[in-house]
Each structure stands twice: as C-alpha cells, then as structure tokens.
Amino acid sequence: MKAPEPFILRVPKIDACDSGVIRVSPECYLHLLELKRRTGLPIGRIAEQCIDFAMHREIRIEEEPYADTRSTR
C-alpha cells in the first residue's frame, strides 16, 4: 500500500511577505506630522529614527495581563 502524500504548507520568509506598513494611533500619527512639519524630514525617516532609538534602549518589564500600555500624554 502506497503511503499518503504529506500535506505541505509553504510559509514565505518574513522579508518576502512583509509590506513595510505599520499602523499607529491617530495621536502618534499627529506627533509624526508635527515632527515632519518642524523638520521637513519624511515621516518614514522620523519613524525609523524613533524606532532605532527605542530599540537601542529597550528594557523589558513584565506587566499585568490586559494592562493599558498606551501613553497617558
């Protein structure tokens, strides 16, 4: 008896399926627009610099489940 053919799922690499689009809150977007207005830099470059800054200074803190992680600004 012939063995059944396996079911194979081909999962694309992260880079291959990543569109580069991120979602931000309207408040965050307004902050980015204000920085764009003041500096003349593209929003993407501002976002990259903010993310790079945060990634180099990351400290992980365990939070309560379902805690509201949004800024209170």
Can you read off the two tokens belonging to residue 67?
Answer: 């805690």
Please state the rounded mean pLDDT for residues 1-25.
75
**Residue 8 lies inside a defined structural domain of this protein:** no
pLDDT over 70 (residue 67): no
**Residue 17 lies inside a defined structural domain of this protein:** no
Per the structure, the complete domain to which residue 50 belongs is given by 25-56
pLDDT over 60 (residue 38): yes
Can you read off the two tokens belonging to residue 72?
Answer: 């209170």
Please, which pLDDT band fits residue 10 given cuts at 50, 70 and 90? confident
**Residue 72 lies inside a defined structural domain of this protein:** no
**Residue 39 lies inside a defined structural domain of this protein:** yes
Q: Which of 26-35, 46-55, 58-67 has the lowest mean pLDDT?
A: 58-67
| Residues with Cβ within 8 Å of residue 24, at least 6 apart in sequence | 32, 47
**Residue 40 lies inside a defined structural domain of this protein:** yes
**Residue 65 lies inside a defined structural domain of this protein:** no
